[in-house]
A and B are shown apart, each in its own frame.
Chain A
Amino acid sequence: MKRSIYAVVALVLALPLAIAANDDLQSRQTDDNQWVLPSKNYAATRFSSLDQITADNVTNLTQVWSFSTGALRGHEGQPLVVDSTMYVHSAYPNHVYAIDLAEEGWPIKWRYTPVQDDRAVPVACCDLVHRGVNYVEGRILMTTLDGHVLALDADTGEELWKVRNADPLRGETMTMAGLVVKDRYIVGVSGGEFGIRGWVAAYAVETGEQLWKAYSMGPDEDVLLAPDFNEANPHYGRFGAGTETWPGDRWENGGGATWGWYAYDPELDLVYYSTGNPGTWNPTPREGDNKWSMTIFARDPDTGEAKWAYQMTPWDAWDYDGINEHVLLDLTIDGREVKALVHFDRNGFAYVLDRTDGTLLSAEKFVEATNWAERIDLESGRPVEVPEKRTRQGVNTLDICPAAMGAKNQQPVSYSPRTGLIYAGTNNLCMNYEGFEVRYIAGAPYVGANVRIFAGPGGYQGEFMAWDPEAAEKVWGITEPFPVWTGTLVTAGDVAFYGTMDRWFKAVDARSGDILWQSRLPSGSIGNPMTFTAPDGKQYVAIYSGIGGWFGLPVAADLSREDPLGALGAVGAAYESGLDRVTSVGGTLHVFALED
C-alpha cells in the first residue's frame, strides 16, 4: 500500500464556504423579531422596535414558559433567537440548548456541553459566569471557561471546530460572548487578577484559524497600532506607550483583560471594546500610566490594527476594570451631529467620544458619590484626581467611591431612540482599599490588594436610572437595595426592563420611570433581558435568573460570613445587605408574554 500522504488528505479536504461580507448577519441584526447578536445589534443599543407590549398593557405580562439550564452558578448574558430557534446558554459548565419555538411546548432540538479542563474553575476570578453565544450563517460560536473558542452546527449542535485561545494554567479564562464581524469571531480573555497580558483575537468563523491577535500592552507590534494611530489625539499617547508607561518589564503581567461586550460600526468598519485593570491591583510597583490598560480601543476587524485608543483611568489604583460596553449612537452634542460612542465606566464617569477618532466630548459622573476624581479634563482627557483617594501600598485608603466593582459593572445599558435616553443598572458602592506587595507566580492569583466594600451614601447599593447622553445628566432613577447587576432592555412600547438580585423582574415606564409591573423570580437575576417574536406572532420577553457574579459569589458559592474581605470584598458587601436572606442559587430562563 503506497499511497501518498497527500492523497489521503486530499480526499477529505473541506470545501470552504465563503462568508464574505456577512450580509446575513447585518440584515438579521436589524430584524427585531429575532435577537441574533448578544447586544441585539452592532450598535449595542439593546433596543427593540417590538411594540405589542406597551406601558399601557404591561400589567398583563405573565410568565408563560421557563427552562432550567442545569447549572447553578451566576447566569449573566442573554439567549439568542434566530428565526424560530432560541439558543440558551448556562454558567459553567457552559451548556448550550437549542429550543424549537415553532413546535408546541418549545421542545429541545439539541443540547451541547463542551468538554472542559476543570483546572479553569479555581482561576476564574469572580464566579463561573458566561455571557452568551453568537450566531452566524448556520453556526453557533462560543467561548468556554477553559479558554477554548468553538463553533457548532446551529441545526444539530455538532461541534465543527474547537481551538484554544487562552490557557487556564496561566490564569487565563473566558467568560465573554465575543462578537462576530464579517467572517470572523472576535474574542478576548479574562484573568486580570492573575497577571495575564490581555489580548483580543479574531478567529475565522469557517475554520477556527486565528487571523490576528492584538495585546493590550507591550511593544507596538504586539498591540498592533495602525500607522495613523491616535493621529487626531496625539496627547492620548501614541507609539511606544505600551511599554514606556510601565516600570521595566511589568507590562508582561500588565493585565488589561478584555472580557466585556463588543460593538461594531459597519460604516466606519471599526470594532470597539475596552481593556481592564492593570495587574496587580497594588499601584505602587507599577508607577506610570500603564497603557493600554483601562482603555477604549477602536480596531480594524480585518487587520486588528488599532485606529485609536483612549485611556480612561491612567495608573489605576482602584481596580476600575474598564471593560464595560460601548453604545454607538448618533447624537447632537453642542449643536453638532456626532457619531458618538457612549461608555459607562466602572470609574463612575459616563464618557461620550467621537467614535471616528476617539475625541472626548463629555465625561460626567453618573453616580453622585464618585469621589476619586473631581472631573475628567476634556482637553487632556485625563482625570483630575482627588489626591487623598489615590491608594498606595501599605496604606488602607478609606471611603473611596465607587468601589472596585464599579459604579456600573459589566451589566450592559440600553438606549431608546424614542426617548433619547439610556437605561442603566448601576451600583452605589464604596470601599476601603489597601495595596500590598505581591509576587508573580504563573497561574496563581496576582491581586495585591485588600478591598472592603460597603453601600455608598444613602445606604442603598444600586439604582436603575435613565440618563440623557446628550445633556450628560441623570433624568430619573429607582433606588434598589442591591446593585442592579442585570442588563437592561427598552422597547418601542416605551417599556424598560431590568431584574434585581432580590429576585424581581421589573417593567418600567421608559418616559416617567414609574414601575408598572414586577414578577418574582426563583433566584436573583444578573442576566440581560431580551425580547423576540415567536412563530405564533406574539412578542415575548426573556431573562435569566441565577445569582452570582462578583457581588453574588458569596451566595453562589455559599461562602462563610466571617471574612468581609472574602471574594475580593464581595462577602462584606453581600452579607451586609442581606443577600443570603433574599435568594439562593438558581439557573433558569424565564419567558413572559401578555395574557390572552
Chain B
Amino acid sequence: MTRTSRGVGAAGRVVIASSAAVAVAGALLAAHAFPQARAQSVAPVPAQAPTLRVCGDPDNLPYSNERLEGFENRIAAVVADELGATPVYAWWPHQRGLVRNTIDAGTCDVIFGVPEGLDFVLWTEPYYRSSYVMAYRNDRGYDFRSLDAPELRQLRIGVHVNTPPEESLARRRLLDNVATYSLFFDPRGDRDRPLKLLDDLVAGTVDVAVAWGPLAGYAATRLNAPLELVPLADEPGVPLAFDISMGVEKGNEALKARLEAAIDRRQAEILTILEEYGVPLAPAGPGSGAATRDAPAAPLPAPAPPPAPAAPATPAATPAEPTAAADALPPSEPASSVPAKLNPFTGDADMAAEGRALYFQVGCQGCHGGGGGGGMATSVIDDAWTFGSTDEVLYRLIKGDVPDQTMPTVYSVLTDDEVWKILAFIRSVYAGDPERIDW
C-alpha cells in the first residue's frame, strides 16, 4: 500500500502518494529552498490573438527552456495549436513556489509536466506515464533486471536525493554504495544540474544510475550516451511510475476540459514527441487514468479485511465467529462504523500473557511504554485512539496498513497469530471508559 506523508503540502513539497520525498518530472517538486534568482518575465501578449498562457521552466532540459527546446515546449505547441491558440510563456523555475508564483499569481494558466499528487492544481487526464529507470553503460557487460541484482552491492550507485528510488535503495540496505545528486540547481551555475548523474554514469564515476525515465532517456537518445535503461516497477509503499498531466487552477474545469479534449485528439503526436526525446513510457498503473485522478489524495486500494487466525493456538481459545465477522465487514466501509470483534484471543489470559511477552520482544514497549502508557508513541491503555479502537484498525496499524499511520510500518513480519496475541494483551491492560469498549 502507499502512504501519504503528513504535513508535506504545508512544507511546499510535491509528493506523489509516498511519504518519501518524491521527485518526478525533472525538477517539478520543491523539496529545497530555491533562491528567487530568476526574475519572472511574462512575454508580451499580442492583442486580440487567442493565447494559451503556459507556466514554463526557462532552463530545464529535457523538459523546457526559453529557447523552446524541451519536449514539454513541443507538446505545449501541439496542444495550443489544437486549441487554435498561440502559446505564451510566463517563465518560472519548476521548483518551490511554482504554483504560488504562476497560476495562483495569475501570470499563466497551465503547467505542463505535472506529476500525480501535486495537489495545488487541478490535473487533466494524463498525457503520458513514465517511471524511474536503472541505467548503466551498455559496454560494461551488465544485465541487471532489477535493483535486487546482488552485484549492485559491489557497485557505486548514483541517485537524486529525496527521490523514491532512494527509498528503494535504502530498503535494500544499499545506501552505503550510493552517491547522491541534487535535482535542484541554481542558474548562476554553482550547483550541478540533474544531468550530472548521467554524465557521471558515462564517465564511470558511478556504475549504475537510478533516475527519472525522461531524464535518462534524454541522455541516451538525444545526447547519445551509451546507456542501457531498465524501467523500474512500483514497489510496496514506493511508487516508481507516475502519470504526468497538465495542471490548471483549481476550479478551472473549463480549461481542464478543453485541454483533455486536445490531449485526446493529439495523443499520437504527443507520443511521437516523447519518443523523439527518448522518454520511456510505462504501462498504465492501477491508479492510472482520469477516472481516479480527480481526487487529490489518491484513493487507496480498498483494504482487504484482516484475516482472522487460521486456527487458535490452544484449545482454550474460543473464536468469536471470526470468519463470519470478517465476512460481514465490507472492505471499503470505515472501520469504526462496523464494530467487529475479530480477535479470538480477547479475554483469554494465557493468550494475553503470550501477547505481553511479544509486546516486549518485538519492541512495542520501546515506544508505548512498559505498561502501555506511551512514550514516543501514544498510550494504548486509555480511551484516546488516534485511528480507532476496533480490532480491525489495530490489526491494520500493526501490519502497517493504515494510511498516514505514524507507527513504523515494520511489523508486517509478525504473524496474524502474534498480532492477535499482542492485541489480547493490550485489551487486558485497558484502563479507559468501559462503555467505549467496542472489541
Residues of A within 8 A of B (CB): 1-6, 8-9, 11-15, 93, 112-113, 115-119, 121-127, 152, 156-164, 167, 169-170, 193-194, 208, 213, 436-439, 441-448, 450-451, 553, 557, 559-568, 570-571
| Among B8, B13, B186, B363, contact of A444 (Cβ-Cβ < 8 Å) | B363
B366 in contact with A446 (CB, 8 Å):
yes
Sample (12) of A-B pairs whose CB atoms are under 8 Å apart: A13-B189, A124-B376, A159-B32, A160-B191, A167-B170, A169-B171, A169-B408, A438-B362, A441-B413, A560-B381, A566-B375, A567-B369
Whether A570 pairs with B375 at a CB distance below 8 angstroms is yes
- Mark B1-15 against chain A: 1 for CB-CB distance below 8 A, else 0: 000011110011100
B379 to chain A: which residues have CB within 8 Å?
Answer: 559-560, 562-563, 566
- Interface size, B (range): 35 or more
Query: What chain A residues lie within 8 Å of B363 (beta carbons)?
Result: 438-439, 441, 444-447
Chain B residues near A561 (CB-CB < 8 A): 373
CB of B373 within 8 A of CB of A562, answer: yes
CB-CB < 8 A to A563: which residues of B? 369-374, 379, 381
A14 and B191 contact, Cβ closer than 8 Å, known pairs A115-B11, A167-B175: yes
Is B246 close to A, CB under 8 A? no
Cross-chain contact A11 with B189 (CB below 8 angstroms): yes
> Beyond A5-B199, A12-B185, A445-B366, is A157–B361 a contact (Cβ under 8 Å)?
no
Interface contact A565-B411, CB-CB below 8 Å: no
Chain A residues within 8 Å of B171, by CB: 169
Which one, B21, B166, B203, B371, contacts A115 given CB within 8 A?
B21
CB nearest neighbor in B for A152: B33
Interface 9-residue window, one of B73-81, B98-106, B107-115, B221-229 = B221-229
Contact B31 A115 (CB under 8 A): yes
Distance from A560 Cβ to chain B, minimum over Cβ atoms (Å):
4
B361 touches A559 (CB 8 A): no
Seed contacts A12-B189, A119-B19, A158-B35; 7 additional CB < 8 Å A-B pairs = A112-B33, A118-B19, A125-B376, A159-B34, A161-B182, A436-B361, A565-B369
Query: Which B residues from 264 to 316 make CB contacts under 8 A with A?
Result: none
Enumerate chain B residues within 8 angstroms of A152, measured Cβ to Cβ: 33
Which chain B residue shows the least CB distance to A571?
Answer: B373
Cβ A122 vs Cβ B407 within 8 A = yes
Contacting pair B375 A159 (CB below 8 A): no
Judging by beta carbons under 8 Å apart, are A9 and B195 in contact? Answer: yes
Inter-subunit contact B33/A5 (CB<8 Å): no
**Residue of A4, A116, A566 touching B369 (CB-CB under 8 A):** A566
| B373/A565 in contact, CB under 8 A | yes
Give the residues in chain B near A5, CB-CB below 8 Å.
195, 198-199, 202, 219, 223-225
Q: Which 7 pairs, one residue from A and one from B, show the smallest C-beta to C-beta distance?
A: A563-B373, A445-B366, A565-B370, A566-B369, A563-B371, A445-B363, A566-B373
Q: How far is the CB of B135 from chain A (nearest CB, A)?
A: 12
In angstroms, Cα B370 to Cα A445, docked, is 12
Residues of B within 8 A of A560 (CB): 373-374, 379, 381-382
With an 8 A cutoff between CB atoms, is B365 at the interface? yes
Q: Which residues on B sit within 8 Å (CB–CB) of A156?
A: 35
Inter-chain contact B182/A447, CB cutoff 8 Å: no
Give the Cβ gap from A338 to chain B, nearest Cβ, in Å.
39
Residues of B within 8 A of A566 (CB): 369-371, 373-375, 379
Please give, as numbers and ranges, the residues of chain A lying within 8 Å of B190 by CB-CB distance: 14-15
Q: Is B367 interfacial (CB 8 A cutoff)?
A: yes
The interface residues of chain A lying within 8 Å CB-to-CB of B167 are: 169
User: Which B residue's beta carbon lies closest to that of A2?
Assistant: B224
Which residues of chain B are within 8 angstroms of A557 by Cβ–Cβ distance? 374-376
Instruction: Name which of B20, B167, B198, B370 has the most chain A CB atoms within 10 A of its CB.
Output: B370
B69 within 8 Å of A (CB atoms)? yes
User: Known: A14-B192, A447-B366. Is A122-B408 also a contact (CB below 8 A)?
Assistant: yes
Residues of A within 8 Å of B427, CB to CB, are none
A567 touches B374 (CB 8 A): yes
- Provide the bound-state CA to CA distance between A122 and B195, in Å: 35
Would A450 and B182 count as touching, CB distance under 8 A?
A: no
B193 within 8 A of A: yes
Q: Which of A162, A169, A560, A571 has the most CB of B within 10 A?
A: A560
Interface residue B161 (Cβ < 8 Å from any Cβ of A):
yes
- Pick from B5, B175, B219, B382: contact of A117, CB under 8 Å: B5
Contact indicator A122/B219 (Cβ below 8 Å): no
* Residues of B close to A124: CB separation below 8 A: 376
Chain A residues with CB under 8 Å of B369's CB are 559, 563, 565-567, 571
Chain B residues with CB under 8 Å of A2's CB are: 224
- Nearest A residue to B35, CB-CB: A158
Q: A3-B223, A447-B363 are in contact. Are A163 and B410 (CB under 8 A)?
A: no
A568-B363 Cα distance, complex, nearest whole Å: 12
Residue contact B374 to A445, C-beta cutoff 8 Å: no
- Whether B223 contacts A118 by the Cβ 8 Å rule is no
Which B residue's beta carbon lies closest to that of A126?
Answer: B376
Q: Once the chains are docked, how many angstroms separate the CA of A292 from the CA of B341?
A: 49
Across-interface contacts of B180 in A (CB, < 8 A): 163-164, 208
Q: Which B residues lie within 8 Å of A125 (CB)?
A: 366, 376
The reply on B196 being an interface residue by CB < 8 A is yes
Q: Which of chain B's residues have a CB closer than 8 A to the CB of A159?
A: 32-34, 184
List residues of B (195-226) whose CB comes within 8 Å of A's CBs: 195-196, 198-199, 202-203, 219, 222-225
Residue on B nearest A161 in the bound complex, by CB? B182
Question: B439 on the interface (CB 8 Å rule)?
Answer: no
- B191, closest chain A residue (CB): A14
Say if the beta carbon of B147 comes within 8 Å of chain A. Answer: no
* B406 within 8 A of partner (CB): yes
Please name all residues of chain B whose beta carbon is closer than 8 Å to the beta carbon of A443 when the two chains form the complex.
408, 410
B162 within 8 Å of A (CB atoms): yes
Residue in B closest to A438 when the chains form the complex, CB atoms: B361
Q: How distant is the Cα of A323 from the Cα of B34 in the complex, in angstroms? A: 36
Query: Known: A164-B180, A557-B374, A567-B374. Is A1-B166 also a contact (CB below 8 A)?
Result: no
B387 within 8 A of A: no
B11 adjacent to A164 (CB under 8 Å): no
Q: Which residue of B lies closest to A4 (CB)?
A: B223
Are the C-beta atoms of B11 and A559 separated by less than 8 Å?
no
Residues of A within 8 A of B20 (CB): 117
Please give me the residue from chain A that is nearest to B407 by CB atom. Answer: A122
The chain B residue sitting closest to A439, CB to CB, is: B361
Contacts of B385 in A (CB 8 A): none
Contact residues in A for B202 (Cβ distance below 8 Å): 5-6
